Structures are given as structure tokens and as C-alpha cells.
Amino acid sequence: MPVGPARLTGRLVLPPGAGSLVVLAHGSGCSRYSPRNRHLAAALGRAGLGTLLLDLLTSGEERAPDALFDIPLLAGRLSETTRWLARETGLPVGLLGAGTSAGAVLEAAAGDGGVHAVVCCGGRPDLAGPAALARVRAPTLFVVGALDARVLGLNRLAAGRLRCEHRLAVVPGATRLFTEPGALEAVARLAAGWFTAHRPRPAMV
């Protein structure tokens, strides 16, 4: 997928009758091939949502540690991807980010009124910065493991700076990567429920 001068790689799945599409963004050392990301995408697909598993960095950029925290770069690529998907599919687009890409999805949503919902899973939404967080208008869900005290605090800080509908969901007994039994399933249910509940309704004819 050409995004500016870069060529990004992703996996797009559109179930029959999908009413919206979710971009699962990866920019922090995790790719679309990881079992966790594929599990989340499959759960969203079962809920009737289209998914795009997207690597925000090229293979060359992944070797540069600073690129993982270049939030403006990641957010810009997400914004271009979101516009391309909306144009090509005609579907409303939501964003899901984990790790550093949580900040990127929020910065992208801050500059794009077409994003219909955002989910941040155990990530660093604070990296979007106070100004961007205040501009987000898409309903936003933060999902954090109860045992990940530092990230939980950062998510609470970010949530406090939002001026849109938002919710902080804490998964009991879970750490940052939700590797505990049942934790990832809980994340998947929460994300699917959020995107489904905030899916735009078809215009009345």
C-alpha cells in the first residue's frame, strides 16, 4: 500500500455485509503476523467488522529505534490509510492501536473527523500530546491490564484530556500484553463491542 514515499504492508479482510472497517495499527516492534493481533482481528471479523492489519513501519524503518516513537510519522500514515480505505470501500473507518501506536491512532483521529471510533489496548495514548487529545472527537475506549500500573496511570492521564465520549476499561489480573488466561478474549470483546456500538447508522432514505 503506497503511503507517501513509503510502501506499507497490510492484510485486509472484508466479511460479507461489513458495515465498517477497523485499522489495527502496529508500530512498536509487533507485526500483523503476531498471534495477538491476528486474534483481535478475527474477533472483530466475527462481529461483522472489516479489518486491516497494518504495519506502520517499513522493514528498514523497524530497525531504527527512534522510528517507533515518531508519532507524527505514524499518525500521518494512518490518516492517509484511513482516507484511502474510506474512498475505496465506502465504509466508515475506526482505529485500534497498541503500544506506541496508541498515541498515533489518537493523533490521527484528532486530525481526521472521518474516524468513527478509537480503541487503545494497553498502549501509550499520552504520546499523542495534550493538544491532539483535546481535538479528538471519535468515541474512544482505553483497555488496560489491572496489573500494569504505570500504563494504567498514563491512560487515565490521557482520558482526562479528552473532550469526547470515552471509557477506561480495566481487565482484572492482566498485564501489559494480556497474556493471562482469558485476558485477550476480554480485550477482543471490549473492542468489538465498542466499534459495533459506535458504528455509524446508514442514512435514512
First-to-last C-alpha distance (Å) of the chain: 34
Cα–Cα distance list, 32 to 3, 20, 55, 90 (Å): 17, 20, 6, 24
Highest CATH level, class, for 2-197: alpha beta
Could you identify the residue written with the cell 478509537?
118
**66: alpha, beta or left? (left if phi > 0; alpha if psi -120 to 50):** alpha
Instruction: Give the start-to-end residue ranges of the domains of the chain.
Output: 2-197
CB 11 within 8 A of CB 42: no
Sequential pLDDT tens for the chain (205 residues): 656 667 788 899 999 999 899 999 975 555 556 788 899 999 999 999 999 999 888 777 777 777 778 999 999 999 999 999 999 999 999 999 998 899 999 999 999 778 999 999 988 999 999 999 999 999 999 999 999 999 999 999 999 999 999 999 999 999 999 999 999 999 999 999 999 999 987 654 4
pTM of the full structure: 0.92
